[in-house]
Structure 1
Amino acid sequence: MKQLKHKKLWLSLIIIVLLVCVIFTGAGYYFFKMACVPGPKSFLGSSSETLKKSDPLYKEKMWFKKTAKQKWYMQSADNQYKLVANYIPAADSNKTVIILPGYMNTKEDMAEYDALFHEMGYNTLTPDPRAQGKSEGKYIGYGWPEKDDVKKWINLVLKRKGSQQQIVVYGLSMGAATAMMTSGLKLPGQVKAFIEDCGYTSVKDEIEHEAEALYNMPSFPRFPLVEILSGINRIKVGYFMKDASSIKQLHKNHRPMFFIHGSHDTFVPTKMVYHNYLATKGPKQLWVAPNSKHADSFADHPKEYRKRIASFLKDYVK
């Protein structure tokens, strides 16, 4: 009789553990879909804003609308997807900037940055990341698979425009993390500098932060859920989220890097920029834009933003 009771107890415990595993796995798949599968994201808000003259970057955005753009196409680094980019040439320029959009943004959303760099005399190449805009793809990679695409875009610029090109890589938000991750790769010598604006320290750090900020999720169940999500990401996308680290890649970077972050950024917490800044091994500058929220530094401080970028680049791009 006693042995039967023990068996029933163990059976009950096993059933409970299995149920908990099923629940957590189901939740992990739900959050994977929310975070990594392209589609409308309620936490991002609407992007269909009407351009108004009161917009501090109205001039730049109108310039972009009226400017002719070439379409460049390329297969992704793993040859799975067709990627597309806007290319806007500058007159007789041997300077090209590759502009990397943020999470669920497109090349058209980077209009003001195309204008900013074109005004400085740069050709601009602005790709849609895989699974965003007009580029093919199943999943958002948060910069880790995209870093290899950026390297391929760099090589395409040199192939099409010649080895005399001097290349700068600029990224915003997820694009900033992509830029930092790219900086740790073996790259052609024509890559002269990187600029990152409000990028995260690692994909795992950012996912954990958003789980807490968006869902008020305490450390339990946040920790096991993120680990399950990371495991699903390994199966679907090809990497564990902790391995997708800006900091680890910056440790391998010796090129100049300019770090920009808003002082009031709560989406990618401002504290992350200090960790990124300390990690890189090359020449570096840091600017924390006063009172700016996520990805708002240019709109809030257009003159200062332009001036600081121009001042940084003049030392490395001739």
Structure 2
Amino acid sequence: MSKKSKIITGLGAASTLAAATDFFLCRTLFDQTLNRKKLKKGKQLSLADADLNDEQKTQRHKELLLCKKWIQNVAVDKVSVESEDQVQLVGMIYPSHDHTSHRWVIALHDYACCKEDMRPVARAFHEQGYHVLTPDARAHGESEGSLISLGWNERRDLLRWIDAVLEMDSQAEIVLYGISMGADTILFCPQEKLPAAVRCIIEDGGYTSVYDILSWQMTHYYKMPPFPILDSMGVLVKQKMKFSIRKASALPKMEKALLPTLFLHGEKDVHVPCDMAFSLYDACQSAKDLYIVENSGHRANMYEQPKAYYQKIFRFLDEHMK
């Protein structure tokens, strides 16, 4: 074999190895991030308190004890809807004690959490006279589904839940509340297509886009550059979930925002950097407010400063739900 042939053969082998490595890494990232079965071997494990410090965990424990007593006096109903792609979705309703109330909140949990993790939020809204709906996102909790799209396909499921509320209460005034992936499920919705019954948005820990959050995780956790692995993973996402991770962005939606939106974020959130909150807030063209919770990390805001957190939320709603 000539020297030139050896070089060509070597380059071919190197290219094949690089392509195989890229495929293996993008497939691994896809499975570990977006595949429910691979993520926890088919079992849903809640990570709701995974990033809390000791003081925040203590506060969360207190909240859960209060929830345990509270729920004994609430007529909780389990409900379900079917998604556009025939996935059964399950949720819980906590009806208000004020039977004349038409105020509702749909509270959406974060990635790798479940509807039960939203009980502290449900209790806070319920005590303000709201009916509360807490769904399990697809591929979480009791809901069916195997793939997680980090809010993009889940946004269509949210529309089904809004329709379900309106079937129960045609006069409903709806607040959409979400934490991180739940927040982006809301932010990804084109607001001009939402029913007029949807009045306000409360988002806590949202990210700018699917690509941005995956890119952040690759550099922060895996210490790897996003290109080319994330772009290869994007091809896999397109094949299996029918959307582009680069186009799945909340920023264009914020530029056309119509609904009053409160942006909440932990100052020390290492999973969704605080800069993303400022980007979303700056892009938002509707009535808005921003509250950065000092010394707080991911999913920790309501436990770091619970009194100030809920005061901020309900003052915002009092102003914009008149």
The answer for the alignment partner of 2:293 in structure 1 is: 289
The answer for the alignment partner of 1:245 in structure 2 is: 249
Q: Is the 8 A contact 2:47 2:113 kept in 1?
A: no
The answer for the alignment partner of 2:218 in structure 1 is: 211
- SS of equivalent to 1:315: helix
The structure 2 residue matched to 1:55, chosen from 38, 51, 61, is 61
The structural deviation recorded for 1:231 is 1.3
The structure 2 residue matched to 1:135, chosen from 122, 139, 143, is 143
Give the AA of the match of 1:168.
V
Give the AA of the match of 1:19.
L
With structure 2 as the length reference, what TM-score do the two structures score? 0.90
The structural deviation recorded for 1:248 is 1.9
Instruction: Give the superposed CA RMSD.
Output: 2.3
With structure 1 as the length reference, what TM-score do the two structures score? 0.91
The answer for the alignment partner of 2:156 in structure 1 is: 148
Q: Is the 8 A contact 2:48 2:117 kept in 1?
A: no
Give the AA of the match of 1:285.
D
The answer for the alignment partner of 1:158 in structure 2 is: 166
The answer for the alignment partner of 1:100 in structure 2 is: 108
Residue 234 in structure 1 maps to residue 238 in structure 2: yes
The structural deviation recorded for 1:102 is 0.2
Give the AA of the match of 1:165.
A
Q: Is the 8 A contact 2:191 2:259 kept in 1?
A: no
Residue 199 in structure 1 maps to residue 202 in structure 2: no
- SS of equivalent to 2:116: helix
Distance change >3 Å, CA 262–CA 24, structure 1 → 2: same
The structural deviation recorded for 1:7 is 3.5
Distance change >3 Å, CA 176–CA 60, structure 1 → 2: farther
Residue 167 in structure 1 maps to residue 152 in structure 2: no
The structure 1 residue matched to 2:315, chosen from 307, 311, 316, is 311
The structural deviation recorded for 1:198 is 0.6
Q: Is the 8 A contact 1:253 1:281 kept in 2?
A: yes
Task: Please list the CA deviations of residues 273-293 of structure 1 after superposition, one character each: whole Å capped at 9, or x if unmatched.
Answer: 000001111100000011111
d(CA) in 2 for partners of 1:245 and 1:115? Answer: 31
Q: Which runs of 5+ in 1 are unaligned?
A: none
Give the AA of the match of 1:24.
D
The structural deviation recorded for 1:185 is 5.4
Residue 85 in structure 1 maps to residue 84 in structure 2: no
The answer for the alignment partner of 1:29 in structure 2 is: 27
Q: Is the 8 A contact 1:198 1:260 kept in 2?
A: yes
d(CA) in 2 for partners of 1:252 and 1:54? Answer: 36
Residue 302 in structure 1 maps to residue 306 in structure 2: yes
d(CA) in 2 for partners of 1:304 and 1:187? Answer: 30
Distance change >3 Å, CA 45–CA 211, structure 1 → 2: farther
The answer for the alignment partner of 1:279 in structure 2 is: 283
d(CA) in 2 for partners of 1:193 and 1:240? Answer: 28
d(CA) in 2 for partners of 1:254 and 1:45? Answer: 31
d(CA) in 2 for partners of 1:208 and 1:285? Answer: 27
Q: Is the 8 A contact 1:170 1:176 kept in 2?
A: yes
